[in-house]
Structure 1
Amino acid sequence: MKIVPLLGRILFALIFVMSGLNHVMGAGADYAAAAGVPAARIMVPFAGLLALLGGFSILLGYKVKYGAWLIVIFLVPVSIALHNFWSVTDPMQKQMQMAMFMKNVAILGGALLLAYFGPGPYSLDKPKV
Structure 2
Amino acid sequence: MRYSLFEGQRDIILLIARVLLVILFVLSGWGKLTGFEGTVGYMTSLGAPAPMLAAAVAVLMELVVGILLILGFYTRPLAFLLALFVLGTALLGHPFWNMVDPERSANMTQFLKNLSIMGGMLALAVSGPGRFSLDGR
Deviations 1:57-91 (A, max 9, x none): 210011101220231232121110110000012x1
- Partner of 2:55, secondary structure, is helix
TM alignment of 1:88-103, pairs within 5 A: 88-89=99-100, 91-103=101-113
Aligned to 2:126: 116
**Percent identity between the two aligned chains:** 32
Match status 1:21 vs 2:66: no
Stretch deviating more after TM superposition (116-125 or 106-115): 116-125
Aligned to 1:47: 58
Matched pairs, number: 126
Following TM superposition, by how much is the alpha carbon of 1:107 offset from its aligned partner in structure 2, in angstroms? 0.2
Structure 1: unaligned runs, 5 residues or longer: none
Match status 1:74 vs 2:73: no
Structure 2: unaligned runs, 5 residues or longer: 1-8
1:50 aligned partner, one-letter code = M
1:31 to 13, 24, 42: 42
Deviations 1:81-103 (A, max 9, x none): 110000012x1100000000000
Compute the TM-score of the two structures, normalised by the length of structure 2: 0.83
Query: C-alpha distance in 1, partners of 2:30/2:78?
Result: 16
Aligned to 1:6: 15
Query: C-alpha distance in 1, partners of 2:119/2:39?
Result: 24
Larger radius of gyration between Structure 1 and Structure 2: 2
Following TM superposition, by how much is the alpha carbon of 1:46 offset from its aligned partner in structure 2, in angstroms? 1.3
CA separation of 1:46 and 1:24: change in aligned 2, threshold 3 A: farther
Query: C-alpha distance in 2, partners of 1:69/1:23?
Result: 22
